[in-house]
Chain A
Amino acid sequence: MDKKKNRRAFIKSAGRAVAGLLMVVALPKPGLAQRIHDIEVGEDAPDWLDHYWVYLIDTTKCIGCGACVRADKRENSVPPKFFRTWVERYQITEDNHVHIDSPDGGHDGFLPEDLAQLLTKVGQETRGAPQGKGRAKHQGKVTKGFFVPKMCNHCRNTPCTQVCPVNASYQSPDGVVLVDKTRCIGCSYCVQACPYGSRYIHPEKHTADKCTWCYHRITKGLLPACVTVCPTGARKFGDLKDQSSEIKKLLSTQRLNVLKPELNTEPFCFYIGLEQSVR
């Protein structure tokens, strides 16, 4: 009798302890702001470890010109039909339908196909007609519209590196998610793991490829190609460890959001003016 009681008491208290532990574990993760400010990297590392990079996209400024997509293709020799960055157009009509399109990733802008062809003919000296198909068809007045440039979010808690069986995908100490092509075996687990569709398997190299935030540029003091060419300043890039940087100021004064925050991937690509219909 006594023994049984003891056991019951033990199970009860053990249950409480486990529940308590679980609660500690399940405590909410630090908020966006805190995550931005508490980054540390060891001291005696090469100078590229003295940075922690962050990207900021102001959707209220983007005009959907596609200059960023074109620049990215040139800078990184991205094969046709694949994208490291692309621009999506959102059109919300009176009947509350959300029409999303991204003809050829926004590579040739968003001109209606017939108009683009016509203008190309008039222009004679142009460099070829736009290829993009797949513009959203809809009737009705657009009451709300905007463009959303997208790319790899360089998540700090990223699913793509976690699934890589050979550690070819990894996060660099300065916060950039990279793919070591000499190690990648092309299994495409990471392509499936990325919830943002940021990765693809290169059709010739047969290895995973994705945006590197132009690692070869940012480590030389240049901006990523897409940021360099954006005519409206919709794309911003900077170093969180540089206290006087513009990005630091923007991040601490603007109203930010990230894509799919519910997935806890902790993206380091922040958005200003992100509408709730954006997925």
Chain B
Amino acid sequence: MKAPRHLKRALWIIAFLFVAGNVIRFSVVPESFGQYGDFRGAHLAEERARHPIHRGSDICGECHDERLEEKNNGAHGPVPCENCHFQPYAGDEDHPEAHPEVSQSPDRSQRACLICHQFFPSRPSAFPQVAKFSEHIATNALKLKKEHVGAHTLCVHCHNPHNPKIDLKQNG
């Protein structure tokens, strides 16, 4: 028995849609799509492959162990080296070139210190803050190193950034 023409035509159309649909699907949908969910699974590994830049202080201590110990025992213990020494140390076994070619000298301006220690009403009151630099000098610094007090006095003239606390009794 011969199939009616309209049925044949419908079958052809269905077959065409099936083939075309699959061709489009496989050429447009990436291979790993749906591996872990409704997204391209391979992207997880791609995102993961990027090289980390900030490495924390411990990696600096591998060479500068005394400096690190000094810092860690002082009030700046929780501040990582790279916060002041700008260029984060991105080097490791595979990327040793990241340091020491890069300049590691820190910002020695007052701004570098006051970015954390300028008094703001929004800062937690227990955090050490300087409300007015001139007053701070008048009350403290005069007792310390007179030769530095002037228009170009910097915080770092009195405070060692690696161990900033000064025992006034001892020095005064």
Where the two chains meet, the residues of A that have a C-beta atom closer than 8 Å to any C-beta of B are: 45, 48-49, 60-67, 71, 74-75, 89-91, 108-111, 115-116, 119-120, 122-127, 130, 142, 145-147, 167-168, 170-173, 178, 180, 182-183, 212, 214-217, 219-220, 222-223, 225, 228-229, 231-233
| Whole-angstrom CA separation of A181 from B38 in the bound complex | 15
Contacts A60-B124, A147-B122 known; 19 new A-B pairs at CB < 8 A: A49-B36, A63-B124, A67-B83, A71-B82, A75-B52, A108-B115, A109-B118, A111-B114, A119-B109, A119-B111, A119-B114, A123-B109, A125-B109, A127-B107, A147-B123, A172-B36, A212-B47, A225-B54, A232-B127
Q: Is the beta-carbon distance between A91 and B121 smaller than 8 angstroms?
A: yes
Known: A147-B122, A214-B52. A170 touches B108 (CB 8 A): no
Where the two chains meet, the residues of B that have a C-beta atom closer than 8 Å to any C-beta of A are: 30, 33, 36-40, 43-44, 47-56, 76, 78-80, 82-83, 86, 88, 105, 107-112, 114-116, 118, 120-124, 127, 151-152, 154
Q: Is the beta-carbon distance between B39 and A115 smaller than 8 angstroms?
A: no
Most buried by B among A63, A74, A127: A63
| Whole-angstrom CA separation of A179 from B121 in the bound complex | 38
Q: Is the beta-carbon distance between B52 and A125 smaller than 8 angstroms?
A: no
Q: Chain B residue with minimal CB distance to A183?
A: B40
Cβ contacts under 8 Å, A229 to chain B: 54, 80, 82-83
Cβ contacts under 8 Å, B123 to chain A: 63-64, 145, 147
Known: A167-B38, A228-B54. A145 touches B120 (CB 8 A): yes
- How far in angstroms is the closest Cβ of chain A from B90? 9
| Whole-angstrom CA separation of A108 from B127 in the bound complex | 19
Q: Is the beta-carbon distance between A115 and B115 smaller than 8 angstroms?
A: no
Most buried by A among B48, B79, B107, B112: B48
Q: Is the beta-carbon distance between B88 and A71 smaller than 8 angstroms?
A: yes
- How far in angstroms is the closest Cβ of chain B from A39? 15
| Whole-angstrom CA separation of A214 from B47 in the bound complex | 9
Q: Is the beta-carbon distance between A120 and B53 smaller than 8 angstroms?
A: no
Q: Is the beta-carbon distance between B108 and A216 smaller than 8 angstroms?
A: no
Known: A126-B107, A173-B36, A232-B78. A225 touches B124 (CB 8 A): no
| Whole-angstrom CA separation of A274 from B107 in the bound complex | 33
Cβ contacts under 8 Å, B114 to chain A: 111, 115, 119
Interface SS majority for chain A: loop
| Whole-angstrom CA separation of A64 from B120 in the bound complex | 9
- How far in angstroms is the closest Cβ of chain A from B5? 41
Q: Is the beta-carbon distance between B44 and A48 smaller than 8 angstroms?
A: yes
Q: Chain A residue with minimal CB distance to B54?
A: A225
Partner of B38 from A61, A170, A220 at Cβ < 8 Å: A170
Q: Chain A residue with minimal CB distance to B109?
A: A123
Q: Is the beta-carbon distance between B78 and A231 smaller than 8 angstroms?
A: yes
Q: Is the beta-carbon distance between B115 and A109 smaller than 8 angstroms?
A: yes
| Whole-angstrom CA separation of A231 from B151 in the bound complex | 30
Q: Chain B residue with minimal CB distance to A61?
A: B124
Q: Is the beta-carbon distance between A216 and B120 smaller than 8 angstroms?
A: no
Q: Is the beta-carbon distance between B110 and A119 smaller than 8 angstroms?
A: yes
Q: Is the beta-carbon distance between A228 and B111 smaller than 8 angstroms?
A: no
| Whole-angstrom CA separation of A1 from B115 in the bound complex | 84
Please name the 3 residue pairs, one residue from A and one from B, whose CB atoms are nearest each other, closest first. Answer: A123-B109, A145-B122, A170-B39
